[in-house]
Structure formats: structure tokens, C-alpha cells
Structure 1
Amino acid sequence: MRLTEFWARMKEQFGDVYAESLAKDYVLSNLGGRTVNKALADGEDPKVVWRAVSDTFNVPDSLR
């Protein structure tokens, strides 16, 4: 998954403003206690990050 696709899915699921806020502020245990932004900055694969978000927030299968 490319980073652009990751952000498109985030914005589709959560909306522009909330997607950015969630990525910046919400710490995910599935990402080792990191935020989305920190995990991506650390070089984590966007697909792995998206799976963590999907599992945490029960994202519909159509967006997984």
C-alpha cells in the first residue's frame, strides 16, 4: 500500500480533520504504543499501520 492510498482510506473513513487528529494524537497498542504519524515516520509499512487502525476502530471490510 502506498502512503497516498493510506491517507485516502483514513480520510474516507474518518473525514479530513479527524483523520489528521487521530494520526497525530491517538496511541495505538497495535503499533507498539506509537501514533500513526510516529509509526509512519519510523518507517513502518503503511499497510501494517492501516491494519492496526482498522482493527482498533472496526473499519468496515470494504475499506480494509
Structure 2
Amino acid sequence: MNLVNYEKTAVYAAFEMIKMEAKRYGVPVIGSEVIGLVPMKSLIDCAKYYLQIENFSMNQILEKRILD
């Protein structure tokens, strides 16, 4: 899967769709990989979706606080 615009189609949304389609054919999705660079916001969006963090703030990210 190659996502060009993660703001239009969130990584987690595409991943969930792939899992649903694979399940229809009886194929389990056992992992994924990242090749190349990934925008930080796309990974944060995935964390928000899967972890369901309430009141999440970018200021809770250690590296962001260090860089500020």
C-alpha cells in the first residue's frame, strides 16, 4: 500500500480497510512495515485512533517538548 496523502486517507483507515478485505478471504494481517520517511502527524493520528487517548496533546510527546 502506498499512501500519498495521509490527510485525505488516514493510515489507520487504509490499514483497517485492508484488514477487512483480507479477512473476507480468510487471510490474517499479521503486521506492517514502513519504508522511507513518515510524517509524524500520520503516526500520531494512528496512535490516537488505536489507543483512544482522551484529550491528547502534542505537548505530551517527549521529543516535541525537547525540541521546543
Give the alignment's TM-score, normalised by structure 1.
0.34
Larger radius of gyration: 2
Larger fraction in strand: 1
Give the alignment's TM-score, normalised by structure 2.
0.33
